[in-house]
Each structure stands twice: as C-alpha cells, then as structure tokens.
Amino acid sequence: MQRFFSCLFFLMACNAIYADGFESDPKAVTLLEQATHAANDLSYSGMFVYQHDGQMDMMNIIHGQVNGIPFTKIESMDGQRREILKKNNKLSCVFPDKKLVQIEKETTRNFFPSIRWPNKDKYIDNYQVMLVGVQRVTGRSCQIVRLNPRDQYRYAHEFCLDNQTQLLLKESTINQSGVAIMTVEFSALNLGLNVSLNNFQTSYEHSKDWLHQEIKSVQVINSESNISLNPPPGFESLGVFKSVGNKGQNIEQEVFSDGLASVSVFIEPADSNQATERIESLKNTLSYYSAEKGGMKITVLGEVPVDTATRIGQSFVINRRDQKK
C-alpha cells in the first residue's frame, strides 16, 4: 500500500511538472487577455517610440470608438511620411511623398498598442507567463508581464500593462542574451478623450486625387503542402496560403506559430543556382533563411532566433508527388 501511494504521488508530481514545466501565473495570463480589450475599447491619444536596431522612430496615435466602430489613426514623425487610417478591419495607408494610397479592405494587421491575444492553450506550453514587477511608463504605473520561452527556439517578451486600464504601454522582445532587440512604448499618453470622425480624417486633403491601390488578401488554399517540414516543438501549422510572386511565380506559404511568434515558410520554383544557404538576422526581430533544393527555393521568415529559422529551413523535404511532376 505504501508503495502504491508513493508511486501515485510520484506520478502526480511528474504530471504537474510536465504539464507546466515552470508554472505560469494565472493572474498574468488574465492581464494579457484584458489588454486585448483595453486597446480596442478605450479612447486615447499620444506618442509612442519604436526602438529597434539602434534607431528610434516616433509615431503619433489617436484611437477611439465612433458609433461603436473602432477607429485608429497613426502618423509617422520620422523618416518617410506615412499615415495609417484604420476603420474596423479596413486599412488605408497614405504615402504623401509617393502620392499613393494603399487600401486593404480586410486587414489582419495589428498596430501597437492593439493586440489580439491568442488563446492560452496555444502558447502556455511554450512560454512561462509571470508577473515580474512594477514599472512606470509615461508617468503611469504598470505591471510587467514576462513571457519566458521554455526552450531556445523563441524569444522572450515583456509587456507593461497599465495598472488602471490594462492598456499596453510598453512591449519588448528579448533575445537569448537578455538584450531587448525591439521595444515599443508610449512617451506621452492621454486617456479618456472624446473623439469624433473628424479625428480620423486624413491630414492630406488632396489624397483623394492620388493613386489608390487595393491590396487584396492572400488566397487561402488550406490544402496539403507539397513539402514536408520539421519545425521545432511547439510550432503548429496555421495553414497553407497561395500567392503569386513578383516574377509571376506561384508561391506557397505555410505559416507556423507557437501562439506568440510566427514563422512563414515560402516554397517556389528555384530560378537561380543558389548553392549556399543564406542566413540573416533581419531588422524588426525577423530572422531569414533561404536555400535551394531539388529545383525548389525555400525561404523561412519569422520573429524567432536565427537558429530556429535555420532548423526549419534545413528540414525541408519535397514530397514524392511533387518530384514526379
């Protein structure tokens, strides 16, 4: 009997450890879910700073709901002039220097501080979620939620959420060396302002006479991919998408995600003899890998460490039916 209870206790302990590895803080998980609603429901305006790769860019933002519809307007204060106008899922990007307006009628893009937080089940096995302290951002006290990766295949993230409203005030992506490789944070913030449609009009009156380009979403094919890949543990396929490249070539794009980070794998016919792999750490926390094998070109791109992108790319195998073609 003693032996039975000892084994039972041992199995329960193992299960507890295995289920969570390092246990996540439920309060931290709840805060992140609340941040999703805060960014959408609140009205606010301010300036935020985007720091990456040794440079800083400032943006002006105003967000609010008009007749129950969420509106956002973001203007760049540095570099090339650009203006983002978002009404629900319709996105207009105004480029005054190019006299160009790009329109996406059904965008899936999110811009800081808006987040579309995934279901806990999708990422809890890959990250330990915990509260790590309190910080002040733009004069407001906020709680720091840290997502620690459970292995070396992903980055860590820190989110500073306003204590009062749970609005995301600051976000950092941190590499394996503990260095923040990207940070976005408010430098000035006004909450609770009254907004109207006038706040979300373009600042460029003559943009209606400029060239308007409609960008349609990539076509989802949801079919089996012609290639096999072996992504690291925790990365699941979100589907296969199809598009046409700038040279008219068919491109298959399979997207993998661990709930937080995503990796796209592009497959297309090879048009050159690239004998060597190309591995790069790009800006905006992106890692890049490309190579050619069996007449096909594979490109891997994602917000993951370079080793992760390389591992996915090197696991590329063409399925037999594709070779017969």
As a whole number of Å, the CA-based R_g of the chain is: 23
Of positions 30, 34, 60, 76, contacts another protein by CB under 8 A: 76
- DSSP SS3 for 287: strand
Write down the least CB distance from residue 112 to another protein, Å.
Answer: 6
> Vertex 245, ends 240 and 248: CA angle to 5°?
120
Q: Which range in 78-86, 124-132, 201-209, 221-229 contacts another protein by CB under 8 A?
A: 78-86
Q: C-beta of 307: minimal distance to another protein in Å? A: 18
325 vs 314: CA distance, rounded Å: 22
- How far is the C-alpha of 75 from the C-alpha of 59, rounded, in Å? 6
Q: How far apart are CA 191 and CA 46, in angstroms?
A: 9
Q: How far is the CB of 304 from another protein (least distance, A)?
A: 11
Chain residues 233-292 in contact with another protein, contact rule CB under 8 A: 238, 241, 243-246, 251, 253, 255, 257, 260-262, 264, 266, 282-286, 288
Q: Which of 37, 52, 87, 120 contacts another protein by CB under 8 A?
A: 52
By rule CB under 8 A, what count of residues binds another protein? Answer: 63
Q: Scan residues 212-231 and list those touching another protein (CB under 8 A).
A: 212-218
What is the rounded distance in angstroms from the CA atom of residue 289 to the CA atom of residue 285? 14
For residues 83 and 142, which CB has a smaller minimum distance to another protein in the complex?
Answer: 83
- Map residues 103-122 to x or -, x wherever contact with another protein holds by CB under 8 A: -----xxxxx-xxx-x----
Burial of 48 per CB tally in 10 Å (0-12, 13-18, 19+): buried
Peptide bond into 113 cis (omega under 30): yes
| Sequence-ordered alpha helix ranges (H) in 21-145 | 26-41, 120-123
Cα separation, 39 vs 56, whole angstroms: 23
- Which residues are at the interface with another protein (CB under 8 A)? 48, 50, 52, 55, 57, 59, 74, 76, 79-80, 82, 84, 93, 95, 98, 100, 102, 108-112, 114-116, 118, 171, 173, 182, 184, 211-218, 238, 241, 243-246, 251, 253, 255, 257, 260-262, 264, 266, 282-286, 288, 299, 301-303
